[in-house]
Each structure stands twice: as C-alpha cells, then as structure tokens.
Structure 1
Amino acid sequence: MALVQYSDSESDAEQEAPPRKINKIQDPPSHHRPIASLPPLPASFHDLYASSTRVSVRDDPSLHGGRKRVIPHVEGNWPTHIYLEWYPSKEELGILGNIITQAEHMLRGEQAKLHSLLHSDLGAQLPLHISLSRPVVLRTEEREPFMDSFQGALQNSEISAFDVQLENLDWVSNSEKTRWFYVLRARRPDKDDLNRLLRLSNGSLGYFGQPALYKPASPASKLDEPQRRTQDSEHSPNDLTECFHVSIAWSLAHPSLEDTERMESINLQGLNDLRVHFDCVKAKIGNNVSSIPLPR
C-alpha cells in the first residue's frame, strides 16, 4: 500500500480541527480508587546525565562564569575522576543553602562573588562529591585496564558502605589557583574508609603514571593549606582525613584575611546532625560514569 504525503496546510488544518467529544467513563468512588505512586528513581539514573552539554569546542571561560578548563580537549585523552557522590535531600539542601547565603553576605567585591554548586543555572539540583582522585587523563587503551584494576582492588578491600559527618566551613583552591572552593570538611569515619579508598585510587592510577591526590608532602616542600593542616595534626602521616571535603560553592577571587575572619562567625546550625551515606564509588571516564557498589 502506497504512503500518502500530506501538504503542510493539510497537516495544520488537521491539528486545528476541534477535538471529538468522548463520553467520559465515570470514575469509581474515591474509597475504591487505587492510589498511584511513582517509585523513586534508581541511583544509576543520575549517571546518564552526569555531563553537561558542550556549547563550544574551545575553552571559552565566558561560557562558564569565568572558569578555565583544567584538562584541554585532546583526541585520544579521556578526563578521569574517582569520587563519592551525594545528592542532598530537601532538608539538607536547606542547611547548605543557608550556609552559602551567610557566606555571600560576608564577602566583599565583585570578584569574590560566590557561585553555588547546589543547583544549575536552570535550577536543577546538582550532585555534590568527595574527590578520591585528581582530574587526570587516561589514554584510550588504558581505560579498560584501569577499570579492571580499580574494581578488583575495591572488591578485595572489603570496604563496606559507610557514613561521613561534615563539619567546619573552609576554603581550598584548585592546583592552578584559578578558582577557590568553599567547602565543608569531612570527619574521619569509624573504619577510616576515606583514607582506605584514597590509597586504592592513588595506587590504581599511579600504575598508569597518574599523580596521587593528597599525597603526604615532605617538610621541605612548599605546602598548600590543606597539606599544612595535615602535617600539623596529631594523626599519622598517612591520615589525610583533613584534606577530604565537599565543595558547596566557588569563587574566582582569593578570599582575603578579612573574609576568612568573617566566615568564622557563620552559623552552621544543623550541620552537626548531617550524616552522608555512601554505598558506591563513582568512576567517570570521559562522559561515561561507572558506579561500583560497596557491600552493605
């Protein structure tokens, strides 16, 4: 049977035709009507939309609030990041939003403007995370061997799901000193899970020649702020808990001494009762996100 091609005018007329009247079937009484409820979205759903749409093939800071790309686009290179992901609840978003609002009122100057990491420019909720690696680069042929190595090490470690308590508002810079992040520090979990995961990540990426994250520094080296706090702590050199953090906002300007002092008066009400549960480790290679579950 041949297909009939309709003209544009016919298609428009068909769309504008008045709808046919359909006799409505009477609804059953409310006490007999089944209650429809949608199941919650699986955690893997967020991994499908973990990457934003590329709007330029070149690094254009004007498209990203002044941010500069740390890893340039190079064919055959795959930006890689290992992390723990957290989607705050409505109540948790309220606590974090209140902290950011207070910080915004205390900063001075246009360059010190804070950009929240809780929501996108369109108002969609964004995931937060604790990094277990630097932003590194793997070659195409290294992707599969790395994932096999890292998953094997994680399964053999017997690290199970755990909770992390957040405390203290602070700031850290990226390695290029082009952005400053306002962060909440993580408290050491009962079984030292953060340090254990960090060692697994550093070891697996180190096999492929990638630099470690939060590697203990020698006293003679020039230390950044998180490393100074770690070295001065009473913990062992291998305990890097004070480096772990969750970024909640960022700025292009270095916080002044006055800004830092004012931040100490921010009310962190509700933060002490906030515990974040992690039951998987995320590995993002390019635009592909793998979720590796931790035993419960």
Structure 2
Amino acid sequence: MLVGYSSSSEEEEEANPDPDPKPKPGGSSGRRRGCEEEEEEEDDSPRRKKLKAEERVATTRLPVPGCLLAMFPEEVELQTEDSSLHGGRVRSFKHERGNWATYVYFPYHPDEEFVELLDELLSAARAHGVALSQQEEFHLSLSQTVVLRHHWILPFTQRLKAGLAHCKKFTCSAGRLKVYCNAERTRTFLGMEVSTGHAQLLDLVRVVDRTMTEFHLDTFYKDPSFHVSLAWCVGDLTGLMKDCLQELQRLVDEHEDGPFALRLDCEELRCRAGNKTFSFALEP
C-alpha cells in the first residue's frame, strides 16, 4: 500500500474546477477565490509538504501486535540505572539494549537448617555494625558474569551443552565462611567456601572456559575460590566483615548438633542469560 499520496478524485477536483461556478451575492466570488488560491500557494512550501506527508505516515502506522512484543521482551523492557530500586546495587557494566548478562552456575536449594543458621549469622553481623542483605537465591558460580548479544545465546548454550555431554554429576560441600568483594569494590559478600568437590568443579570450569574463549568472552579466575554467597552489603566493608568473621564461624561450627556443612548436589548445571535459564543435566 502506498502512503502519502492524495486520492485520484482529489487530484481531479484540483485539476478540473467547476466549469460553471455560480457567482455569490455581491460579485466578489472571483476575488475571494483568488485570495484563497494565493494563500494555498504561500502555504504549499516544501517544508509544509514534508510535514503533511509525515503526518499521513504517522496516522497509517499500525501498532506492533502484543504477541510479537512478548516474543522479544528484551527489546521493549524499560531498564533503570537507579540503584535505589535495587537495594543500592550498582551494575558492573552499563546496560545496553540487546546485551544479556550471562553466567554459569549450580543452584543451591536451602533447607530449614540453613535458613536458621543464616538468620543467626545476619543478626551477629548486625551487632557488629554490618547490615547484610540475604541473597535472593543461592548458587555456586562456575563463570564470571559476561555479556552476550541476543543472537549469540542459542549457539553459546548449544556449544556449552556439547562440551558437558560426558561430565558426571557429583556432590560438594562447604562449611568455611569467607569474605569476598567484587572487582569494582561496590559490594561485599559473606560466602561459604567449598571444601570437597573442588577437583570436579575445576574440570567443569575448563569446559565452560573453552566455550567462553570461542565467543571471545572472559574466562573464570585462575585460582577460583568456589563458594556459595550467603549475604551482601553495599560498598567495600571487607575490614568490618573480617573483624567479626571469627564469631560468625563459631556459629557455624557450633550449630545445634555439630558443625554445619552445606551440601550441594551438582546434578544440573545452569546458564542464565537475562531472563532466560538453560539447564544441562550431568550424567549419572
């Protein structure tokens, strides 16, 4: 459909005025007619023509169907850089449309004993002047957070799946508290470091790193401290956290019937890219 053109009937009316116009009382119809034509000519500038054409295009443009918007939420989702809306957290990299924050991890599903211990740890830290916020979810990372373009997500996850094809599931455990701070020094974390299963985790990191390298992305740390982050606070409070770390560790070691050990069944590796999550079951 062509847009921005007058209909043929309108063109004919302009090109063929009434051959027998009827004069109006007072005999001034010809003079008024001439004035109207002059005004139309003055207003018929190139700029005016362009504005009229744009108005016609705008009125004929159809809205995007809702089903299509739902297929590509990252293209229409409004992003905010207001850290107050995220508990004071600051992005490690600026958000750009089409860029998806991506990382590989094992999920940890907490049990009742873990939740009770975490409440005790947060209360003890608060007594030392450190207000920690509990993690919204718990996981063990096997990659850094990298940026993927939307069209890379499918080939990236397919390549990752192929690399994990023969990896075996296993179990790891953690029980030693440790303080971590991100590279930008904008957040401090209380984590529980892995004590068993370290070798198997390193094997998986090698697989993940190969995929990262193929896509020219950052690989994992050279000497990783595998851990599950428990809680966090804004800013670099490493010093304050370490001052009370001994007392927090005592709560772990003397928890109820004996030292608490976080057990993580590493059966299903996951990759999260933006709001999409991909799962890779390991072999028995």
Which of the numbers 179, 202, 209 marks the counterpart of 1:202? 209
Aligned counterpart for 1:287 among listed residues 268, 275, 280: 275
Aligned to 1:47: none
- Tell me the distance in 1 between the aligned counterparts of 2:98 and 2:127: 44
Offset of residue 100 of structure 1: 2.5
Deviation at 1:275, TM superposition (A): 1.6
Contact 1:159-1:193 at 8 Å conserved across structures? no
Per mean C-alpha deviation after superposition, the further-off stretch among 270-279 and 90-99 is 270-279
Amino acid at match of 1:210: L
* Match among 140, 144, 147 for residue 134 of structure 1: 144
Contact 1:67 1:178 in 2 (8 A): yes
- In the alignment, which of 70, 88, 100 is matched to residue 78 of structure 1? 100
1:159-170 pair list within 5 angstroms? 159-170=167-178
* Offset, 1:263: 1.7
Structure 2 length normalisation: TM-score? Answer: 0.66
Q: Please state if 1:114 is matched with 2:120.
A: no
Please report the TM-score for the alignment, with normalisation by the length of structure 1. 0.63
User: What code does the residue aligned with 1:176 have?
Assistant: E
Is the aligned partner of 1:148 residue 2:148? no
Q: Report the counterpart of residue 253 of structure 1 in structure 2.
A: 235
C-alpha deviation, 1:258, in angstroms: 5.4
Higher relative contact order (CA 8 A, sep 6+): 1
Change (3 A) 1:56 1:62: farther
CA contact (8 A) 2:105 2:270 kept: yes
Say whether 1:96 aligns with 2:118: yes
Q: Name the CA shift for 1:211/1:167 in 2 (closer, same or farther; >3 Å).
A: same
Q: Separation in 1 of the partners of 2:112 and 2:102?
A: 30
Q: Classify the secondary structure of the residue corresponding to 2:196.
A: coil
Deviations 1:3-27 (A, max 9, x none): xxxxxxxxxxxxxxxxxxxxxxxxx
More helix by share: 2
% same residue: 27
Paired residue secondary structure (2:127): helix
Unaligned runs of 5+ in 2: 1-75
Which residue number corresponds to residue 263 of structure 2? Answer: 275
User: How far did 1:274 drift?
Assistant: 3.3
* Higher CA-based Rg: 2
CA 1:56–1:97: 2 relative to 1, 3 Å: farther
SS in 2 for 1:183: strand
Q: Deviations 1:97-134 (Å, cap 9, x if unpaired)?
A: 2222222222x2xxx421111xxxxxxxx430011111
Deviation at 1:256? 5.5
TM-fit CA distance, 1:262: 2.5
Structure 1 residue corresponding to 2:183, chosen from 166, 171, 175: 175
Q: Partners in 2 of 1:102 and 1:291 — Cα distance?
A: 36
Aligned-partner Cα distance in 2 for 1:278–1:179: 27
Query: Quick one: which of 264, 268, 291 aligns to 2:246?
Result: 264
Structure 1 letter corresponding to 2:79: V
Shift of 1:55: 9.4
Find the aligned partners of 1:99 and 1:113 in 2 and give their Cα distance: 11
Give the secondary-structure state (helix, strand or coil) at the position aligned to 1:265. Answer: helix
Q: Which amino acid aligns with 1:141?
A: H
How many pairs were matched up? 203
Tell me, in whole angstroms, the C-alpha distance in 2 between the residues paired with 1:291 and 1:135: 17
* In structure 2, distance between residues paired with 1:195 and 1:63: 36
**CA–CA distance in 1 between the matches of 2:127 and 2:263?**
27
RMSD: 2.1
